[in-house]
Structure 1
């Protein structure tokens, strides 16, 4: 693939991703009518980041089923899809921090809001019973989800910031590959983060099925691709 084709492919990928974000946001927005606007934007961005991470995992199996001449194109698409996962994840986290910097109006079922530290620290810490003590870790249901989300965001940010040829050269091929092979772990962290929040947020449109069906499709595609690869190597 020459430079011109590579640039055109990247522009097409980013254009398609932008259209997907717009269409998906417009489709999901009415379902979140009961939530404040900023919280709606945050949740939609979180869902979109989850979908983009999953799509980046699907491109690997799809690549193995296509002719070899398309490998370079698939890798380019996967890299740009990963960048969009990082951008939407960054938006999700930024909006959550802004929400908690004031008085959050979140529909949390578990945990006592009054026991949480002020501001965004309340996502992770509880106010100590004695003012002279250090804040306590928030091991409530939603608190564990926040810890998982923070770990996932750190990993997602590392993957997004190293999604370039320059970063690959700077890190070295083996180190870069080792970092980017953590993508399935990132998906699992985001999945459990989302499942816990689905359990701790009241009402629709949150549903286990939305997340688990998508995760099952990715697991099935990657399992089939793995078994095919093992069969080919044995032959």
Structure 2
């Protein structure tokens, strides 16, 4: 693919990703209108990041069904969609940290305890009432969800920071590929992070179907692609 065409393709991929973000946010906003604005934005950004991560997992199977000349284009599109998944994920995390550092406190949290640590550390730690005792991990449902989210965020940052040809050359092709093969694990981490929050923290407008329907679609398409690849190799 020549350079002008590659730049045009990347521009179109970024425009389409931005449209997905804007249209998705506008579509979800009425359902979140009961929440404070910043909290609503944090949740919408989380949903959009999950959606975009899933789209990167769908592009691979779609690539395998297209003629070989589409391979480079699909890889470029997947990389740019992944960048937007990273940006929306960072926005989600930043807004949550801001909300926990000051006002307003998260409206969705229902399991607050008087011995929680201050600021955003309360997402992960409890402060025992005894003075001089180190904080202990928060192993409640919400604490586990937050740990899953933190692991997902670290992995998301690693993928985002290496989403360039320069990073691929610096890491080496095999190391770069191994790192980016973790994308399905990122999707699962975000999925379980969201499901635990939906189950233990939030009520309407949230439901399991918000995440599970799309997760099933991703699993089904990738399973079809895997089965097709296995059959082709056996012929």
* TM-score, normalization by structure 1: 0.97
Contact 2:97-2:120 at 8 Å conserved across structures: yes
Is the counterpart of residue 29 in structure 1 residue 24 in structure 2? no
CA distance, structure 1, for counterparts of residue 109 and residue 118 of structure 2: 16
Contact 2:64-2:225 at 8 Å conserved across structures: yes
In the alignment, what sits opposite 1:12? Answer: 12
In the alignment, what sits opposite 2:137? Answer: 137
Shift of 1:106: 2.4
Shift of 1:129: 2.2
In the alignment, what sits opposite 1:224? Answer: 224
Q: CA RMSD in A?
A: 0.9
CA distance, structure 2, for counterparts of residue 14 and residue 46 of structure 1: 19
CA distance, structure 2, for counterparts of residue 133 and residue 162 of structure 1: 40
User: Which blocks of at least 5 consecutive residues in structure 2 are unaligned?
Assistant: none
Is the counterpart of residue 45 in structure 1 residue 49 in structure 2? no
Contact 1:42-1:91 at 8 Å conserved across structures: yes
Count residues with an aligned counterpart. 234
User: Which blocks of at least 5 consecutive residues in structure 1 are unaligned?
Assistant: none
Shift of 1:108: 2.0
Shift of 1:127: 1.2
In the alignment, what sits opposite 1:69? Answer: 69
In the alignment, what sits opposite 2:108? Answer: 107
Question: Helix, strand or coil for the counterpart of 1:131?
Answer: coil
CA distance, structure 2, for counterparts of residue 19 and residue 202 of structure 1: 28
Is the counterpart of residue 90 in structure 1 residue 129 in structure 2? no
In the alignment, what sits opposite 1:158? Answer: 158
